[in-house]
A = this chain, B = another copy of it.
Amino acid sequence: MEIAGRLHSAAIHLLRRAAKPDTLSGQGPARLSALSVLVFAGPRTLGELAAAERVKPPTMSRIVAGLKRSGLARIQRDGKDARRIRISVTAKGERLLQEARRRRIRALADTLTGLNAAALDVLDQAATIIESTLRRG
């Protein structure tokens, strides 16, 4: 319980710090997050994207509509199952995500510089543990 409380607090403060430069991309956090799934995990159906982001299909439907409207993702029909749609990132989308990511890294770099290799390793491991734990849960 104690670790959970401190982790929660740390996550909140970390995100507040990191959220600022993301607004420069002109895209909200949900779109950037969905875009990063497409970039790092490849094309996905809407249901898969919704599950990965832990939101309901109608929510993801609107997020994807926004990405498409902004030219960051494209929609293709699935040949085998006409109910499914295949969502993939465009060159513009990949560029925008990488730029947003670079800005975010730079913002955090200012606060993370000064940490030694051991401390960075701890953060790296923590990120891995959190992601895998949440993926299982």
Interface, chain A (partner B; CB < 8 A): 1-18, 29, 33, 36, 54, 101, 104-106, 108-112, 114-115, 119-120, 122-131, 133-134, 136-137
- Chain B, residue nearest A14 (CB): B11
Which residue from B6, B36, B110, B125 sits with its C-beta under 8 Å from A127? B6
Which residue from B10, B36, B123, B129 sits with its C-beta under 8 Å from A131? B10
- Chain B, residue nearest A129 (CB): B119
Q: Could you show 18 A-B contacts with beta carbons less than 8 Å apart?
A: A1-B105, A2-B124, A3-B112, A3-B120, A3-B124, A4-B106, A4-B112, A6-B128, A8-B14, A8-B108, A9-B36, A10-B126, A10-B127, A10-B131, A15-B15, A17-B137, A111-B134, A111-B136
